[in-house]
Amino acid sequence: MNSELPPFVYRILPWIAAFAFFMQSLDTSILNTALPTMAKDLNESPLNMQSAVICYALTLALFIPVSGYLSDKFGTKNIFVMAVSLFTLGSLLCALSNSLIFLDISRVIQGIGGSMMVPVSRLVLIKAFKRNEFLAALNTATIPGLIGPVLGPVLGGYLVDMVSWHWVFLINLPIGILGVLVSLKYMPNLKGERLPFDSFGFIFIVITFVSATLSIECLNQGQQYYLPLALAIISLIFLFIYRLYAKKRQAPLFPLSLFTIRTFKIGIIGNLVCRLGISGVPFLIPLFLQVGFGYSAMFAGMMLMPMAIASIFTRFFITKVLARLGYRFVLVANTILAGILILLMSLLNLATPLTVLGVLLFCIGGVNSMQFTSMNSITLANLQGESTSSGNSLMAVNQQLAISFGTGFGAVLVRLFSNSTTTIHAFQLTFVILGIVTMLSSIIFAQLNKEDGQNLTARH
């Protein structure tokens, strides 16, 4: 353990990070439930309310890349406290919004804070903990983040029905204020080497990520395919430009040398492909239960509870499983198992007992929890020195894009199949494809060596 910090700080740090994970995941999932009611109150079409989601997603894509640089220059505590303060202020402004434009601007402020909360809190864990202690710390930090997406739809539905949509945002205020106070007292202000900011690299990366995010959002809204395709091509062109630029730049925003770290390269690519299959499932299940089976929004939200319970339960033995079986075996086997469970979702119909559905969702929640922790920790396992900040930021951006891609991919498949078959069958076919994609990602994780990740699971 790093001797620079008091022992109590090591116990509190994972929980500070956990708070950041929870706030962001809760906010992302709680808003969707409230959008129809908000649209009515603001005299807008429900379809126009997507701008509130897009503004937040774009701001995340815009500011996540600079989180590592700002932390290295100004210190992790200063940036984290600023991020939480902005997120809390943005939440208050969202609650006070009386027009869609005001709401969109408020979501941008909220997004600036949200873009740095999770990457900076995770960066503190990487820098403060030894590698054999990091996995346990990351485990603790991500548990509340798993509760958010499940608690969000249920809590959002309750607040909208029983109080008002404003409380979807006001609920962030006490959590945010508490987070600022605890962080000011206990979070260390760790800094890194002050390299000059790569302005051109930032511009290239921003165009790449914003184009990719907009492409997915356009697909989600059912736009004609030529617009998302054009945006995707722009994204790829600027990614290629950045690659050429970064080769010649001495200190680029995201050094290409990161991809010479084999575990980082496999982790990043595996994360992206695997989430393409997995990330659409939590988004599709509530829709499947409501649109396909006719259940209420509250009931659909409640049926996601087994996923959350399994996610939390799995966290207690992930470290032991990885230490015993190794990262390569766990990631390959678990990815195949995740794919099979998604395929089983395609067998559900109106006659399926709720207990069977509950057990299946419990299994999916547990397997996903194992997958996310294993993928994230192996990606960060061998980052050292100045590559830590940029590598952590790149992983955060990769995750954000992967979740957007996964959700968009699932939505597009359902829409595509709905044109030629029944709604239930469209969902079933979508689960088949998502399951196959998930299983195929095991090929990427099979490239890990048997000993990879041992530095994370080694005993004290």
| pLDDT value at residue 46 | 62
| pLDDT value at residue 265 | 92
Under the banding of pLDDT at 50, 70 and 90, the label for residue 79 is very high
Interatomic CA distance for residues 326 and 403, integer angstroms: 26
| pLDDT value at residue 2 | 47
| pLDDT value at residue 435 | 94
> Which H helix or E strand runs over 97?
none
Q: Which of 69-78, 261-270, 382-391 has the highest mean pLDDT?
A: 261-270
Under the banding of pLDDT at 50, 70 and 90, the label for residue 3 is very low
User: Do 206 and 298 lie in a common domain?
Assistant: no
| pLDDT value at residue 146 | 65
DSSP, res 451? T
Domain end, chosen from 250, 271, 286, is at 250
User: Do 136 and 241 lie in a common domain?
Assistant: no
Interatomic CA distance for residues 119 and 70, integer angstroms: 11
User: Do 408 and 449 lie in a common domain?
Assistant: yes
Residue-range definition of the domain harbouring residue 428: 254-460
Interatomic CA distance for residues 31 and 100, integer angstroms: 14
Domain tally for the chain? 3
Q: Which of 56-60, 90-94, 246-250, 371-375 has the highest mean pLDDT?
A: 90-94
For residue 71, the SS3 value is helix
User: Do 123 and 227 lie in a common domain?
Assistant: no
User: Do 171 and 213 lie in a common domain?
Assistant: no
Is 90 exceeded by the pLDDT of residue 193?
no
User: Do 384 and 336 lie in a common domain?
Assistant: yes
Of 119, 108, 93, 91, give the one whose Cα is nearest residue 20: 119
CB 114 within 8 A of CB 24: yes
Domain end, chosen from 196, 219, 235, is at 196
Is 80 exceeded by the pLDDT of residue 148?
no
Determine the residue type at 199.
S
| pLDDT value at residue 181 | 92
Is 80 exceeded by the pLDDT of residue 291?
no
User: Do 275 and 406 lie in a common domain?
Assistant: yes
CB 383 within 8 A of CB 391: yes
DSSP assignment of 408-436 equals HHHHHHHHHHHTTS-HHHHHHHHHHHHHH
- pTM of the full structure: 0.78
Task: Give the domain CATH number at 418.
Answer: 1.20.1250.20
Quick one: tokens of 24? 């962001």
| pLDDT value at residue 221 | 65
Interatomic CA distance for residues 334 and 367, integer angstroms: 7
Q: Which of 327-336, 356-365, 379-388 comes out lowest in average pLDDT?
A: 379-388
Domain end, chosen from 196, 219, 241, is at 196
Under the banding of pLDDT at 50, 70 and 90, the label for residue 43 is confident
CA distances from 323 to 37, 328, 385, 457 (A): 48, 11, 25, 5
Chain centre to alpha carbon of residue 295: 27
Interatomic CA distance for residues 391 and 3, integer angstroms: 25
Contacts for 184 with CB less than 8 Å, ≥ 6 apart: 77, 81
CB 371 within 8 A of CB 278: yes
User: Do 269 and 180 lie in a common domain?
Assistant: no
Is 50 exceeded by the pLDDT of residue 426?
yes
Helices (H), 129-225: 131-162, 167-170, 172-186, 199-220
| pLDDT value at residue 215 | 84
User: Do 155 and 242 lie in a common domain?
Assistant: no
User: Do 157 and 221 lie in a common domain?
Assistant: no
User: Do 222 and 89 lie in a common domain?
Assistant: no
Of 46, 21, 44, 42, give the one whose Cα is nearest residue 32: 46
| pLDDT value at residue 284 | 81
Averaged confidence pLDDT in the chain: 83
Q: Is the dihedral of CA 131, 136, 140, 145 positive or negative?
A: positive
Interval 203-236: pLDDT, tens: 998 898 888 878 877 776 666 778 888 998 999 9
| pLDDT value at residue 460 | 38
Interval 334-371: pLDDT, tens: 999 999 999 999 998 888 888 999 899 999 989 998 99
Quick one: tokens of 163? 């109080």
For residue 449, the SS3 value is coil
Q: Is the dihedral of CA 350, 352, 358, 360 positive or negative?
A: negative
Average pLDDT over every residue of 415-422: 84
Interval 99-123: pLDDT, tens: 888 998 999 999 999 888 888 888 8
Of 175, 171, 162, 158, give the one whose Cα is nearest residue 33: 158
| pLDDT value at residue 177 | 92
* b/e sequence 155-168, b meaning 16+ C-beta within 10 Å: bbbebbeeeebbbb
| pLDDT value at residue 14 | 85
| pLDDT value at residue 223 | 65
Query: Using CA atoms in the order 49, 51, 54, 55, what is the torsion angle rounded to 10 degrees?
Result: -120
User: Do 54 and 90 lie in a common domain?
Assistant: yes
Place of tokens 């659409």: 280
